[in-house]
Amino acid sequence: MIQVWSQMFFDDGSVTQGLRFPAEWLDEQYAFKIDEVADMLMKSANRDEGWLLIWGAGNMVFNHYPTAFSDKTPLESNS
């Protein structure tokens, strides 16, 4: 199984530990899994906002995840 690496970055320069997950989660049908990864990483750092970087399997994805109480949707930037 091919896996990708993810890490959450925060405005103060801190980062979470890395987390690997199956590359197939990058497929649109599993988009909810990426949100779960972001939520888990933010909770591990006791944060409610940050930037999720995912790389591997020929992809690099950088998404902003706002506070849980925001009505905004994540801003997406793909390379």
Question: For residue range 52-75, what is the model confidence (pLDDT) as tens digits?
Answer: 999 998 989 999 997 454 444 445
Q: What is the pLDDT of residue 37?
A: 94
Contact by Cβ (8 Å): 10, 45: yes
| pTM for the structure as a whole | 0.78
Contacts of 72 (CB under 8 A, 6+ apart): 66
Listed by start position, the domains of the chain span 3-78
